[in-house]
Structure 1
């Protein structure tokens, strides 16, 4: 009987510890200058907030403030709702909306973990099975930051895209001193690995600063056409 009670007590304590475990990251609000091929075209705000119900929201908003982006009235809002599990985000819902004079685009995804199904609306409707640890494409940056915070050695993530789950792998690069509008930071460079020539042409790199709670001080994305979009940190509040 004593052994049974001890086992039950240990299980209860483990459950309480899991429920009471703090989130991997603190809420924040960061502003970035958004550049294309070196020329500033807009501003991006990235915000992480606790919804108070066990879920969290990561929201980015980009507005065109210069050049063609301003003329076209570019406005992009990307929202991810997720929960923390074992120090990593787990997707619950995702929404992407782009408005402008020349282009409108929407993308939505819901994650039904009871039915083990992802439902995506993007130029049509798609359904496919969930996998453990699944996240949406915006939450990759958050997953990288959380893993760096915990000293992870492996940076591989199942990511929900249009019609399937895509495995994204990143490698940890050298430390770099980075100058951005917000200041000078010691950073760790994370770069995506690609399986195909097309993946390798679409370079994705982020510079994470431990002094910022492992927030990215800079994010860079190059597309297959050779255009590069870069986000440089202007300010951050926790």
Structure 2
């Protein structure tokens, strides 16, 4: 199943400008679960599920994706991401992250550990090990999604964030494109659209976040050379405000 980090698209490019549209909050995010259709090159082949669990200040986030129905034999790959950490007054602080692809010809395994006492980030990526200096606002893909939602809810600017999904941290620039209506399994929803990349870039990512659903991402589209390669659209959600 391609692209390699299909689940991470729920998070990896969610760096946004400040949108001061919510009352400040420091209690983190409430638990939720969301289900998305998963389509490649315009063909819907399966589903992705994202779930956030809370135990006080500690959180656990789980994201899975796989093909369904007749496509399950053609695309047997299963994708799974898991992250743990805690909420602070400045947002989520990740502790551990796992990315796993299994069931198909190409298997992948990435483990990341954030050691705040030692000031290090330890990365194991398909057997290759790396040790990074831990810097402020370093997050994993799922922690990044939580940080974006947390900042939107609290009306605070996101600032500079480094995404760690392998041994080479990345930074992104995202531009706000205003409000648009997105057709979802919950009906038509008003959402703020954000783009990573500019027209003409080899790879552009578009994301839509719904204010009514507590800034849950309701659609994600990836374009390569101007052509859509991936689309994830919300089917249903629990633990968020009713649309």
Q: Give the TM-score, by structure 2 length.
A: 0.79
Residue pairs, 1:7-156, within 5 angstroms: 22-52=26-56, 54-66=57-69, 68-123=71-126, 124-154=128-158, 156=160
1:179 to 168, 180, 183: 183
Structure 1 residue 206 corresponds to structure 2 residue 210? no
Q: Is the 8 A contact 1:24 1:88 kept in 2?
A: yes
Where relative contact order (Cα < 8 A, 6+ residues apart) is larger, the structure is 2
Q: In the aligned structure 2, how far is the partner of 1:86 from the partner of 1:43?
A: 34
Q: In the aligned structure 1, how far is the partner of 2:218 from the partner of 2:169?
A: 28
Q: CA deviation at 1:224?
A: 7.0
Q: In the aligned structure 2, how far is the partner of 1:153 from the partner of 1:109?
A: 26
Q: CA deviation at 1:70?
A: 4.0
Structure 1 runs (4+) deviating above 3 angstroms are 66-70, 152-156, 222-227
Does the C-alpha gap of structure 1 residues 159 and 37 become closer, same or farther in structure 2, counting only changes over 3 Å? Answer: same
Q: How many residues align?
A: 213
Q: Give the TM-score, by structure 1 length.
A: 0.81
The structure with the greater share of residues assigned to helix is 1
For structure 1, list consecutive stretches of 5 or more residues without a partner in the other structure. 1-20
RMSD (Å) for aligned C-alpha atoms: 2.3
Q: In the aligned structure 1, how far is the partner of 2:61 from the partner of 2:100?
A: 14
Matching residue of 1:170 = 174
